[in-house]
Structure 1
Amino acid sequence: MGVQKPMVLVAGAGAGLGQSLLSRFADGGFEPVGLGRSAPDAPVGQFHTVDLSDETSAPDILAKIIAENGPPRVVIHNTAELVIAPFMQTDLDDYRRTWDSMVQSAVLLAQATIQPMIDAGGGSFIVSGATASLRGGAKFSAFASAKFALRGLTQSLAREFQPAGVHVCHAILDGIIDTARARALHSLDPTKMMTPADIAETYWQIAHQPKSTWTHELDLRPASEGF
């Protein structure tokens, strides 16, 4: 019987960044396990269809995945729910939907995975943020308020669990990620967009930082992006 590979668990493993993350870690010898509400075409590694904001089903699904694959070495929270609308046209359901997708899902994911990582000797918990994690823009009140909350959650997790060996990092993705959908929506020059494989490489490096130099927060953007 062979040695079990360390697991990388990516929540929000859709086409684009999610699949690039799984591919990069698989290339590095990890067992890639993706989570999402719907599976992309030809997913990398295992894929489990799950609504991570569902407190009745998500914990059981996560526990089963850990029982079958062992404790994760790396967990990446990459879910998003983008709502762009004038404040007066943004209702409470929009706020609940963004919060559930990005914050409640992170709470449930962390509750299911951090203690197993600690018991196994440590690991990394990386969260994908956005420009809206730092700055609320017009028509982004729902999205930004949830991203602000997610950033605060990761700060609390880092301060509580870093001494126990879990590296918690919040990555601010300040730009548009290059996907087929993004190209269709924005008509941007791809050289001015964020390449998913390049973001994945940075996440790989974060997950392998020595304990004497852990990054809690970093920002990534194309060279052409204003900030």
Structure 2
Amino acid sequence: MTETALIVGAGDSLGAALARRFAREGLHVVATRRRGNLDGLTAQIRDAGGQVTGLHSDARDEEAVKQLVAQAESIGPIAACVFNVGGNVRFPVAETTARVYRKVWEMCALAGFLIGREVSASMLERGRGTILFTGATASLRGNAGYAAFAGGKHALRALAESMARELGPRGIHVGHVIIDGLIDNPETKKLFPDIFETRGQDGILRPDDIAEAYWQLHAQPRNAWTFEQDLRPFKEPW
């Protein structure tokens, strides 16, 4: 039976690159996002000879997550799951409403917990599998204007570390990837044109190169697992 790779947060940039990369290895990719068109991504994967199912699902909704994981498992056992939901917002703390803070926490932390819990339950029955969480600079340090985002990403990292310690000895590889820098996509290019111009082609993270790192984490032998990996362009200060 073909194994599946569940990509949660299969947007137009990194999420799409992750879906393409795992599909290239013969896994049936279940690519999900809350809203937005998935037709272009699924067509790309199929045109390249891959297998893919595109679904819309809200990872903050417990029942929706249960249905999503059950549907992915019905296609084939989930060998890898990537939680790639964003949530990056910037507001001065005095202007951060409770609604904004709650929504960011739900996207970063609650959704990560729900996906991690449901996917790991299936993987534990088989004693193997990989769960990878996408982090950010804000996973390690807060900054002015990022109280909500840093709070959510700190919580996601704590979840990932707790799961890794609990599930690793039972055969489940849990990893956390810190993306420390701008990712090359139209939105970031529009927001930070000066950085794109001054840093050049290798000064911005490329989605396909990030996706390669995720695949390598999944492919690691279990005698040499990595919990946390940070990725940044060579010009990125840190």
Fold match by TM threshold 0.5: yes
Q: Secondary structure at the match of 2:230?
A: strand
Whole-Å separation in 2 of the counterparts to 1:123 and 1:55: 21
Whole-Å separation in 1 of the counterparts to 2:22 and 2:68: 22
Asked whether 1:204 is paired with 2:204, we answer no
Moved over 2 A (4+): none
**Which residue of 202, 221, 224 maps to 1:213?**
224
Give 1:209 shift.
Answer: 0.5
Asked whether 1:222 is paired with 2:233, we answer yes
Match for residue 42 of structure 1?
A: 40
Query: Which residue identity lines up with residue 233 of structure 2 in the other structure?
Result: P
Give 1:41 shift.
Answer: 4.6
Q: Secondary structure at the match of 2:63?
A: coil
Asked whether the 8 Å contact 1:76–1:125 carries over to 2, the reply is: yes
Report the structure, 1 or 2, having the larger helix content. Answer: 2
Q: Percent identity?
A: 36
Q: Secondary structure at the match of 2:174?
A: strand
Whole-Å separation in 1 of the counterparts to 2:143 and 2:40: 36
Asked whether the 8 Å contact 1:71–1:113 carries over to 2, the reply is: no
Query: Which residue identity lines up with residue 177 of structure 1 in the other structure?
Result: I
**For 1:1-227, what aligned pairs fall within 5 Å after superposition?**
4-38=1-35, 39-44=37-42, 45-66=52-73, 68-187=74-193, 188-189=196-197, 190-227=201-238
Structure 1: state its 5+ residue gaps.
none
Whole-Å separation in 1 of the counterparts to 2:55 and 2:100: 26
Whole-Å separation in 2 of the counterparts to 1:84 and 1:124: 31
Query: Which residue identity lines up with residue 47 of structure 1 in the other structure?
Result: G
The answer to which of 43-52 and 148-157 deviates more is: 43-52
Q: Spell out, residue by residue over 1:108-150, the C-alpha distance to the aligned partner (whole angstroms, 9 max, x if none).
A: 1112111211222301100000000001000000000000000
Query: Which residue identity lines up with residue 96 of structure 2 in the other structure?
Result: T
- Over the residues paired in the alignment, what is the CA RMSD in angstroms? 1.2
Whole-Å separation in 2 of the counterparts to 1:58 and 1:28: 25
Query: Which residue identity lines up with residue 217 of structure 2 in the other structure?
Result: I
Query: Which residue identity lines up with residue 53 of structure 1 in the other structure?
Result: R
Query: Which residue identity lines up with residue 35 of structure 1 in the other structure?
Result: T
Asked whether the 8 Å contact 2:6–2:80 carries over to 1, the reply is: yes
Matched pairs, number: 223
Whole-Å separation in 1 of the counterparts to 2:118 and 2:15: 20
Query: Which residue identity lines up with residue 82 of structure 2 in the other structure?
Result: I
Structure 2: state its 5+ residue gaps.
43-51
**TM-score calculated relative to the size of structure 2:** 0.90
